[in-house]
């Protein structure tokens, strides 16, 4: 689906990619949208969101060699955005059913890619 459209890319650490694919495989195998699945997805989505926010909002400031004060102010703002996002994600995940779990796992698989060499 994504490859049919133009899109933007945010790099993530290899550890996060590996963990994401492992969680997708594990939860798909279990097929249950239970508390364990919700907790794992919540942590994963939070970490992926944090990596994306850092890349799109903090990395440009680093590249512009922004002052420590500017970086600190930006990080405070990003932290607030992340907290708000996590709150919404958790409320959505609490209502997760098995079919919706599959849809989220499909989406995560769709957006995770290995680096091109």
The pair phi, psi for residue 53, each rounded to 5°, is -60, -40
Report pLDDT digits (tens) over 74-112: 999 999 999 999 999 999 999 999 999 999 999 999 999
What is the distance between the alpha carbons of residues 90 and 82, in angstroms, rounded to a whole number?
A: 12
Compute the radius of gyration of the chain from its Cα atoms. 16
Report pLDDT digits (tens) over 48-66: 999 999 999 999 999 999 9
Q: How many CB atoms lie within 10 A of CB 60?
A: 11
> Nearest-CA neighbor of 100 among 37, 45, 43, 17?
37
Burial classification of residue 47, based on how many CB atoms lie within 10 Å of its CB (0-12 exposed, 13-18 middle, 19 or more buried): middle
- pLDDT of 4 higher than 80: no
């Amino acid at each position: 689906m994504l490859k049919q459209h133009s899109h933007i890319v945010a790099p993530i650490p290899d550890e996060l990619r590996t963990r994401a694919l492992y969680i997708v495989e594990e939860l798909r195998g279990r097929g249950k949208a239970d508390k364990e699945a919700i907790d794992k997805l919540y942590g994963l989505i939070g970490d992926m969101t944090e990596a994306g926010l850092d890349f799109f909002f903090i990395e440009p400031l680093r590249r512009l060699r922004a002052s420590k004060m500017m970086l600190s102010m930006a990080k405070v703002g990003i932290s607030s955005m992340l907290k708000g996002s996590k709150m919404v994600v958790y409320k959505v995940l609490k209502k997760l059913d098995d079919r919706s779990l599959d849809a989220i796992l499909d989406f995560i698989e769709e957006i995770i890619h290995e680096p091109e060499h």
